Structure 1
């Protein structure tokens, strides 16, 4: 069995390739993994099974692949697919939190025995659903991330036509047209609060937001902040302050090619129509697509965008990230339209930081 050294809070311990890839499969989408493998010129294969097989080989490429997977998993704990709220804070609060970090004690919890790996799925049903501090990560650039684990779930719904059902089920539900089943699928969430020490900024990062229902999604940032305030008294009551309003960045980023490549846009025209457009390839910018470009000329470039999705690429160091600002069309009628968070996809912490930094330049 091939094993990969992985650093944990209690010291180094070996992880088998199966453990590492299985943990990654729970942490990230195959789409993101495929992009990352391609950018590193590593063998891709057709899915997670092929990835395990490729990483289990003994040649030099497999060794490089295992090293990449170890680093990717470490990064995935604080990156991946996330919803982020941003707070500008004063230097005094930054200094207070940094000093308080020296006295923070990571509490014992059901997650402690396996961290940074997720708990076995059959244990998650009884694990805490409230964010539980599991790690304080100090980054090389001086930033600090507070990592909170919790057990979450999403509903897996399946619909069966009456004729598809076994005879005994048909007899039980005589006269129905279809049967809908709902199963709770449990997963481990790694929510993060990152203190940008040089930027005087606090970021609340909700892990895998697509798995949260609307009610849980709305409450989640405040739950994470409240959990952090249990360890940092200076953050108590901080939630009364609203996050940064990102709505103004939607139109500003659309108007500046340097912001990134636009892959999707929703907007209202001054001629009374509402449009939602998306590129079908990853290589093209919607701004330059012929149909969209001609339409913009026809309306005199006069549109009011309320949702935008961009791909960003960075150099020195390199990296890629996707950012989505999803405002509501109804906000366009407001004198002060608001949007208090963004969606981000990135598998590198530095790429995530650069994407958020670029976004904030348009506020």
Structure 2
């Protein structure tokens, strides 16, 4: 696969903080941001071994990077159906499957399927990943300047507003993954959740991907997802579980608070204002939104910082049966980071009920 295609695919979907760490680990040249970096990579003399490593890094990001995840419990019979499907499924030749694990160029996405198409089947020691691709549209917010208003009274326009934002529809290739374990337990559905994509859109995408997979196997294998709302309390109140970098919570004084930690390496659990505020209350706070970050060594004094966001709201938290079916996992360098976060989720979930 041409190195230019790999570099452009990385630029299309990897946040720069993640991409530059991957390139540094592979000892490949980096510039200031993606534009300069793609140029350096494309014109570099890269060995076949480095090319293979770069291709594998991209493949892992397609499977594990920037995802909204739902979890489903499957029994032995459901697993058997999925395994039979994996052995017999035919992957049709499409623009997606021909490019995989690179992406189709953005200017070639018009007219391609908005319905998830089976693009690849990936197997490892623990299970099987069914990879679906489709075209998804997100709304991008872009600040506008005077140069965007030629021939008009620019001064009057900008005197009336502090900032002017334009909304632009952008086509993206979505890479969604249904991962099925080899034995009865919990399956993952990982839907692409790039920056700029609305929460409502990703929730709708989950339903579309679930239906696509159930149609593929010919049975409603994926039913109701696991309720992940209990993770909010369990992970926030565990002092050994990562660093809390964001929290939304209700108090006994009927107020709702939202706090963010700006400095890396610090946790809101230990921040003076947060600790003092909790101490002034008669009862514990009631979290409904928590983001946690872990620091994982990459070697040579460098670290990755995978992040898990558990996002609900005060209305749901105050209901009789609060539910949250999706979590957001971001900033994963590769499979290792995602698997680590997924293991922490599993640690705090109740044992699966599927037999």
Q: Within 5 Å, which residues of 2 pair with 1:1-363?
A: 14-16=1-3, 18-37=4-23, 44-52=30-38, 54-55=40-41, 56-58=43-45, 66=51, 68-139=53-124, 141-157=125-141, 165-167=149-151, 182-198=167-183, 200-234=185-219, 236=220, 238=221, 241-299=223-281, 302-313=284-295, 320-345=305-330, 346-363=332-349
CA displacement, residues 9-53 of structure 1 (integer Å, 9 cap, x when unaligned): xxxxx322x221111011211122234456677665421244335
In structure 2, the partner of 1:8 is none
**In 1, Cα distance between the equivalents of 2:40 and 2:166?**
37
Partners of 1:180 and 1:261 in 2: CA distance: 33
Q: Label 1:22 to 1:212 Cα distance change in 2 as closer, same or farther (>3 A).
A: same
Q: Secondary structure at the match of 1:353?
A: helix
> 1:284 aligns to what SS in structure 2?
coil
Q: Is the 8 A contact 2:26 2:50 kept in 1?
A: no
Cα deviation per residue 1:129-149 (whole Å; 9 max; x = unaligned)? 11010000012x231111111
Aligned-partner Cα distance in 2 for 1:159–1:319? 30
Report if aligned partners of 1:87, 1:201 keep a CA contact under 8 Å in 2.
Answer: yes
- Deviating more after overlay: 290-299 vs 330-339: 290-299
The two structures have a TM-score, normalised by structure 2, of 0.84
Q: For residues 284-329 of structure 1, what are the alpha-carbon distances to aligned partners after superposition, in whole Å with 9 as ceiling and x for unaligned?
A: 1111122222222222561000000011245799965210000111
In the TM superposition, what is the alpha-carbon distance from 1:120 to its structure 2 partner?
2.1
2: distance between equivalents of 1:196 and 1:187? 29
TM-score normalised per structure 1: 0.82
1:67 CA displacement: 5.2
Moved more, 203-212 or 93-102: 203-212
Alpha-carbon spacing, 1:232–1:322, altered in 2? closer, same or farther (3 Å): same
In 2, distance between residues paired with 1:355 and 1:280? Answer: 21
Separation in structure 2 between the aligned mates of residue 197 and residue 188 of structure 1, nearest angstrom: 28
What are the Cα deviations for residues 165-193 of structure 1, in whole angstroms up to 9, with x where unaligned? 222x67xxx9xx89975432211110111
Preserved contact between residue 268 and residue 274 of structure 1 (Cα < 8 Å): yes
Q: CA deviation at 1:92?
A: 2.0
Q: Which has the higher strand share?
A: 1
Asked if the contact 1:209/1:217 (under 8 Å) is kept, the reply is no
Q: Is the Cα–Cα contact under 8 Å of residues 97 and 120 in structure 2 kept in the other structure? A: no
Equivalents in 2 of 1:206, 1:212: separation in Å?
Answer: 11
Deviation at 1:279, TM superposition (A): 1.0
| Structure 1 residue 93, shift from structure 2 partner | 1.1
Q: What SS is found at the alignment partner of 1:246?
A: coil
Aligned counterparts of 1:54 and 1:101: Cα–Cα separation in 2:
39
Q: Which has the higher contact order (CA 8 A, sep 6+)?
A: 2
Number of aligned residue pairs: give it. Answer: 339
Query: Contact between 2:252 and 2:283, CA under 8 Å: does it hold in 1?
Result: no
Distance in 2 separating the partners of 1:152 and 1:93:
29
Secondary structure in structure 1 of the residue aligned to 2:96: coil
